[in-house]
Amino acid sequence: MTLVLAAEEECVDLTLNASNSEHTIFLVEAGTGTVIYDVDGTEFHSVYLEDIGFAPETGVTIVAHPGPDGWTDLEYATMRLRRPSYQDLDPTNWPDEKVAAVPIPEVEVGTFTATIDDGWAMFGATCAGGYEAGLEVGFPHGVYQVIATFSYATGETVEMTSNFRIHKSSDGNPLPEDQRPQKADGYVLELAPYADMPEVYWDADETGRIHGSENDKSDRVNTIIPWEGYVYIVMELTAVVYKVDGSWTYLEKSEYLATNAFAPWFDVYAGVEEATAIEENGPARVIDFISTQHSGLRSLAFHPSYNASSGYVYTAHLERRPDTVTTYDDDLGEGRFYRKCSRPEGWTWTGDFFAGRDWDSDEACGDAVVVEWLVENDVVVYSSYRLLVRFNYAQTGEQSREYEHPVKQIGFQPGTTFLYIENGDGSVDSSVAFGGQNPAGPYGCIMRVDVAGTEGTSHHNYVIPPGNYADATGRDEFAPEVCAIGFRNPHGLGFVTDPNSEFFGTVIMFDGGRDNAEEVNHVICGENYGWSNREGLWVQFDDIGGLSDGIYPRPEDDADFNYKYPVAMFAHDGLPNEGFGGQCGVGNGICENEGADLYHHYCFSDFPVTGYVYCSLFEDMMAAQTKGDNITIAPVRWMYLKYYATLDLYAAQTPTLETYEFREIAQIRRGTTLERSDARIARGIYGEILFSSKRDGRIYQALNSLHPTDLEDMLGEVVVAATTDDEGDDAA
């Protein structure tokens, strides 16, 4: 039983046997005719070739069979192949970056008439002249639809439609196994309690600000900033900053915070409320807490000249429009609502995506701002409020609670007065929203402004330093504040602070990916980091998404697009085509304590659920090839976690818990199982690495990131000796 495809004489003949009694569509091994999968019917099929013992290097052919009783009066058969995700798209409108990337077939590959020979209709063999409509592993994997039509002399027509997904295996992680985080002996992270934050009640007032001290709940630690011997702890949902002596013991810190729970160093909520009541700063407004994941107080930064409890500090936070009206609507779902607001006269936005658009129905009523404040004798002067930048965002339909990826961390590059500002792409639910390539507003970018300099272009309340993206590339359509573009959800802003290091001032930022990749990036102004045309090391297609399905190999001419790729990364685990899956990266921990076990390692985490912790050697990151034809990334190690609940237990080398999941450590204080870890990473006053969780309100110190002298001063010689003897052999 053979069939030759009349439209392509170079195709391989197939010899098949089948016993199906009805019309059927098969996947067969090209050249051998071995049936590997029956994809007949309307049910969706996922075919994982390696899992069913099929050699991934062998071609796949689609064959249609009418059954033994289906050949009488059969005149001809036709089959069509298409990728349903593309069926409503016009390829002529795709950006060049995407068209050039992969050999995507037309939306509808075409109709082929097959010759009937001894009982088989065949379509799409693997051909010497090209793929045609056939499939072969290595061809972009993903979702396909096959429509087979059998036409009979009697006038009867039988049509079959099969929908299936083809992947090499059920392992959807797109990185080769040797490039994924590796577990190895000696890669251990030793954690001990550092501070316990005040416990507050999750219930909220009409503004969304949480308050109270009941029910054993904690505010969310968003950022930790070391400065002049103190750590400043930024709390998201009360919008307050606590100042704690960084050299105190865990008990001293926690006791202080418990005693001074309602006397924070800086109540940013009160500051905004009081400052905007002043006419020149008005109209009056408050911090906005409406977004479930990205609201309230985001970050804090000290001006480089700040000293002796005086100088300038900067906050990044969300502010609610003054006339916002919130309407709850059960039809939208429990707790859902929509908001309406106006644009105050005279206001301007550094990022104004809605200029000239129907913003009244689409614009969220919470703006991200960066504000400068004067501090005198350790007291923030509320009336000194000075706005630097303001961004607006879109709401998802009428569910404004869901707007995401606004402004994140801010920080000054060491040795300069350049303030770096992370601004997300504003996307929601794995969409691409503003993308990272859209010049309509500075979204999905890193911004850089000089708050005290004179070199550059004076602009608003700051100076634009030379070398930002528009200046470096000549693309004047981008806002002059933009340093680099092509980011999705920047998390964590780190700098090399050692003035004796050859890398002094280097900017490292973690970018949270969509469905496939989490990136560590070396930020250089004037560069394009790819999103939403790239994700990780791959081409990314906006309309598809999904693990493995929504990405494709880089094209041969990829270097011509001049994207800058990550220096380190990890990819998501799961079945092909799965969505976000609770995997996202965060980082900010560069250990600069020479002599510490983790010296010159950069730590980052898969923060939402498991809290897995990874690290890469900083020199390996800087040696990665991030542009050109031969892209490389630094090796990533998977850290084994040892948690010591008390210093006595630690000195006795009796960890309270050993695990790979930071979530298991975070749930100890809560006393209950946590679905998420929501890990965050920062640095302490000694340059050591600190961890926190938004779920338990506790901050943790990585003991083996401390300089041995500092560790001895804090914990005693017995602990240092015990640490030195611990080889971490149980880190499988």
Report the pLDDT value the prediction gives residue 87, as an integer from 0 to 100: 31
Instruction: Identify the weakest region by mean pLDDT among 253-262, 267-276, 408-417.
Output: 253-262
Residues 6+ apart with CB under 8 A from 528: 437, 469, 484, 485, 486, 562, 563, 564
Contact 509, 516 (CB under 8 A): no
Label residue 362 by pLDDT band (50, 70, 90). low
Which whole number is the average pLDDT over 592-598? 90
Please, is 239 exposed, middle or buried when counting C-beta atoms within 10 Å of its C-beta (0-12, 13-18, 19+)?
buried
Average pLDDT on 593-599 reads 90
User: To which H or E segment does residue 254 belong?
Assistant: helix 250-259
Q: What confidence score (pLDDT) does residue 510 get?
A: 93
Does the structure show a pLDDT above 90 at 377? yes
The tens digit of pLDDT for each residue in 330-361 reads: 665 555 567 778 788 888 888 776 665 554 55
Positive or negative CA dihedral for 504, 506, 507, 511?
Answer: negative
Quick one: pLDDT at residue 395? 65
* More confidently predicted of 424 and 564: 564
Q: What is the pLDDT of residues 88-116, one digit of tens each?
A: 333 333 333 333 333 333 323 344 555 55
Of the listed ranges 178-192, 428-442, 488-502, 650-664, the one predicted with least confidence: 428-442
Lowest pLDDT segment from 55-64, 102-111, 264-273, 647-656:
102-111
The pLDDT of residue 217 is above 60: no
Q: What is the dihedral of CA 301, 302, 303, 309, to 10 degrees?
A: 160
The per-residue pLDDT for range 131-161, each reduced to its tens digit, is 333 344 344 466 666 777 788 889 999 888 7
In degrees, rounded to 5, the angle at the alpha carbon of residue 290 between the alpha carbons of residues 218 and 298 is 60
pLDDT at 366: 82
Residue 613 pLDDT: 95
Higher pLDDT, 432 or 498: 498
Angle at 536 between CA 580 and CA 443, to 5 degrees: 75
User: Looking at the predicted structure, is the pLDDT value of residue 185 above 90?
Assistant: no
509, 487, 530, 527: which is closest to 681 by C-alpha? 509
568 pLDDT exceeds 90? yes
pLDDT band at 729 (very low <50, low <70, confident <90, very high): very low
pLDDT digits (tens, 9 = 90+) for 666-723: 988 877 788 888 889 999 998 899 999 888 889 999 999 998 777 777 665 434 434 4
Q: Is 650 within 8 Å of 701 (Cβ atoms)?
A: no
Stretch among 362-366, 483-487, 560-564, 571-575 having the lowest mean pLDDT: 362-366
Q: Among residues of the chain, what percentage have pLDDT more than 90?
A: 39
Q: What pLDDT band is residue 445 in, cutting at 50, 70 and 90? A: very high
Identify the band that residue 124 occupies on the pLDDT scale cut at 50, 70 and 90: very low
pTM score of the predicted model? 0.84
